[in-house]
Amino acid sequence: MEKNKKISMSISVLIFLAVVAFLVFITINKEENPATLQNMEAEQKNMQITQQVEGVKITILQEGNGETAKPGNTVAMNYTGRLADGAVFDSNVDSKFSHVEPFIFTIGAGEVIRGWDIGVAGMKEGEKRILEINPDYAYGSAGAGGVIPPNATITFEVELLQIKK
């Protein structure tokens, strides 16, 4: 009889411990970890939207909130151009280049490389993008000015400052 009581007591203790462990597990999984939630919110804010339009890979870094640029609009832009190795070949925001003022052109008028016409159309004022432009939409087999080699994929970080009227 004494042996049966010990077995019964052991089983009761095991069941009790199993129930406690289960409740602890459920409680831990139900609680929301504030640090994890903050990280998720930060990741969502920093998510970048990437799309391919013809020969231009467009990554939106910061959405704008102004008017939307379309072909025929004259726009004022800030930009920095880089080669595939990251070397900056031109910029209007870096004082080491002589033209530190907004770059102005008309979308679709043939004033810039085709990749710019494609990549800037649809931007909103205040928007920042990265345009990764394949050679056929940039300077092709000719390259440019001894600075951009033939058949180079080039990248521009651009910001639409204003749509001029």
134: domain CATH number? 3.10.50.40
Most confident of 6-15, 27-36, 47-56, 103-112: 103-112
Q: Are residues 30 and 74 in the same domain?
A: no
Active-site residue identified among 58, 60, 107, 113:
113
Q: Are residues 57 and 135 in the same domain?
A: yes
Query: How far, CA to CA in Å, does 104 sit from each of 20, 28, 99, 159, 161?
Result: 69, 57, 12, 12, 10
The label of the residue with tokens 């180079």 reads 152
Tens digit of each residue's pLDDT (9 = 90 or more) over 65-103: 989 999 999 999 999 999 999 999 999 999 888 887 999
Total domains, the chain? 2
Averaged over 137-153, what is the pLDDT?
95
Q: Are residues 10 and 25 in the same domain?
A: yes
Q: Are residues 31 and 59 in the same domain?
A: no
Averaged over 120-133, what is the pLDDT?
97
Q: Are residues 94 and 38 in the same domain?
A: no
Closest to 58 measured CA to CA, from 162, 152, 157, 164: 157
Active-site residue identified among 58, 79, 117, 133:
79
Active-site residue identified among 58, 90, 107, 154:
90
Instruction: Supply the range of the domain harboring residue 37.
Output: 2-43
Q: Are residues 130 and 60 in the same domain?
A: yes
**Would you call 89 a catalytic residue per the annotation?**
yes
Tens digit of each residue's pLDDT (9 = 90 or more) over 6-28: 777 777 766 776 676 666 666 66
Active-site residue identified among 118, 139, 148, 154:
139
Residue 49: CB atoms within 10 Å: 10
**Would you call 139 a catalytic residue per the annotation?**
yes
Active-site residue identified among 130, 133, 154, 156:
156
Closest to 133 measured CA to CA, from 147, 158, 114: 114
Tell me what the pLDDT averaged over the chain comes to. 86
